[in-house]
């Protein structure tokens, strides 16, 4: 194989990205005003079958903006899966509130709906679900618990653009949801994020918050402390071009996961995140657990790197990190501990060739023998 390095997830720009970015430069609309912002927001709202989409600087501030929209503040508790990217939990801390951690289900690796009720208190305001690695959360039981206890549900869909739960796109099931367009996500804007909701009042409040809190009726009048969380027109231009080609990007992620799935049969000791019959995963990155026939996961990652294949270890669960380990001492999270220790993300860039996938599979399977 040629001069090879296989990245874990690199973006592909095979549409109007360059043309639209050139247009931003030529027209001088490079900052956070300009036509691509509205086009991208409107396009993304349609894409999620939702009423409002608000662009912002990245997926982390999208989470913060959503929680501020929901008026989460000091003393409040928000239920968050322990097995997630750190931004999900940190965004709750930004509001002065406490993320209360919950273990994962063994089969989807997502927040376990049966373990929510035991941590609900009078301070609990809502549930943040995360569609981990692009596999949708089993939303029905979670919406049911939320209804029963008067809680809102928000979706961190940073990895799950276009994923479907029982035929409905994620991002429009909870009261509010957030996306990331970081360089390795299903579609990218470089850095960027989006908040999606059907709620008019929430959308208006968040639009004000992300633009320094300026009164929409009265220029340069700031009745609240706001933020500059805006996306640039250049980022939106890239995003619009990526969105136009969304079906291609989504199809590639699924093609890659299916190819890996065919190669990792039972005897290999490699298990792909299973796709439930009610789910259509975005397969942000094909994600696998290694059985006991494999050496330690970090050793496998090192060996793969020596073969010029970039992989990633799964997230450390939140309950082992310094900021959140108090909860780890008080309660146990056996499923997340297991997944986190034995899991890795495999190369999943949209333009990965069949030969490259086979090379990754051959190299990995050999390490388990
Ligand atoms: C990527 C990601 C984020 C944060 O997005 P950024 O754009 O990198 O700030 C949040 N949550 C999850 C689950 C993510 O994967």
For residue range 43-68, what is the model confidence (pLDDT) as tens digits? 999 999 999 999 999 999 999 999 99
User: How far is the centre of ligand 1, averaged over its atoms, from the C-alpha of 87 (Å)?
Assistant: 6
Confirm whether 17-244 and 246-367 share one CATH topology.
no
User: How far is the centre of ligand 1, averaged over its atoms, from the C-alpha of 180 (Å)?
Assistant: 5
The count of C-alpha atoms lying within 13 angstroms of the C-alpha of 249, restricted to the half-sphere facing its C-beta, is 27
In the block, tokens 């690695």 appear at 133
For residue range 316-333, what is the model confidence (pLDDT) as tens digits? 999 999 999 999 999 999
Multiple choice CATH, 17-244, 3.40.50.10680, 3.40.640.10, 3.90.180.10, 3.20.20.70: 3.40.640.10
- Mean pLDDT throughout 255-266? 96
The residue extents of the domains of the chain are 17-244, 246-367
pLDDT value, residue 4: 84
User: How far is the centre of ligand 1, averaged over its atoms, from the C-alpha of 368 (Å)?
Assistant: 31
pLDDT value, residue 298: 97
In the block, tokens 């927001």 appear at 41
pLDDT at 165 exceeding the cut of 60: yes
Architecture category of domain 246-367 in CATH: Alpha-Beta Complex (3.90)
Are 260 and 287 within 8 A, CB to CB?
no
Read off the pLDDT band of 200 (50, 70, 90). very high
Q: How far is CA 136 from CA 5, 86, 110, 130, in A?
A: 31, 19, 8, 8
Residues with CB under 6 A from ligand 1: 58-60, 84-85, 87-88, 130, 156, 158-159, 180, 182, 193
pLDDT at 249 exceeding the cut of 90: yes
- Pocket probe mutation, ligand 1, options 78, 90, 160, 182, max atoms within 8 Å of Cβ: 182
For residue range 300-316, what is the model confidence (pLDDT) as tens digits? 999 999 999 999 999 99
How far is it, in rounded angstroms, from Cα 311 to Cα 37?
Answer: 34
Distance of CA 247 to the CA centre of its chain: 18
pLDDT value, residue 2: 53
For residue range 269-285, what is the model confidence (pLDDT) as tens digits? 999 999 999 999 999 99
């Amino acid at each position: 194989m040629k001069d090879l390095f296989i990245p874990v997830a690199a973006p592909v720009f095979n549409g109007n990205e360059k043309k639209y970015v050139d247009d931003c430069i030529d027209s001088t609309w490079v900052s956070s005003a300009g036509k691509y912002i509205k086009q991208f927001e409107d396009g993304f709202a349609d894409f999620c079958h939702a009423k409002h989409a608000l662009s912002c600087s990245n997926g982390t501030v999208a989470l913060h903006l959503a929680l501020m929209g929901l008026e989460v503040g000091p003393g409040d508790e928000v239920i968050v899966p322990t097995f997630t990217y750190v931004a999900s939990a940190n965004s709750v801390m930004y509001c002065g509130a406490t993320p209360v951690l919950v273990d994962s289900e063994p089969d989807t690796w997502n927040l376990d709906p049966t373990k929510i009720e035991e941590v609900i208190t009078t301070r609990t305001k809502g549930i943040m679900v995360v569609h981990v690695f692009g596999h949708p959360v089993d939303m029905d039981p979670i919406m049911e618990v939320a209804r029963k206890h008067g809680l809102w549900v928000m979706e961190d869909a940073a990895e799950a653009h276009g994923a479907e739960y029982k035929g409905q796109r994620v991002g429009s099931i909870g009261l509010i949801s957030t996306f990331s367009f970081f360089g390795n996500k299903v579609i990218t804007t470089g850095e960027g994020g989006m908040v999606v909701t059907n709620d008019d009042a929430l959308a208006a409040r968040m639009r004000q918050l992300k633009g320094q809190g300026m009164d929409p009726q009265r220029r340069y009048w700031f009745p609240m402390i706001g933020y500059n969380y805006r996306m640039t027109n250049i980022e939106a231009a890239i995003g619009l071009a990526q969105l136009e080609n969304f079906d291609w990007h989504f199809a590639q992620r699924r093609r890659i996961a299916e190819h890996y799935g065919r190669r990792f049969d039972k005897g290999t000791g490699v298990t792909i995140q299973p796709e439930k019959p009610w789910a259509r995963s975005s397969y942000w990155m094909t994600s696998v657990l290694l059985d006991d026939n494999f050496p330690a996961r970090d050793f496998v990652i090192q060996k793969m790197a020596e073969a010029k294949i970039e992989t990633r270890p799964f997230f450390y669960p939140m309950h082992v990190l310094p900021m959140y380990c108090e909860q780890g001492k008080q309660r146990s999270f056996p499923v997340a501990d297991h997944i986190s220790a034995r899991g890795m993300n495999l190369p999943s860039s949209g333009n990965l060739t069949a030969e490259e996938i086979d090379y990754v599979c051959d190299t990995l399977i050999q390490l388990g023998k």
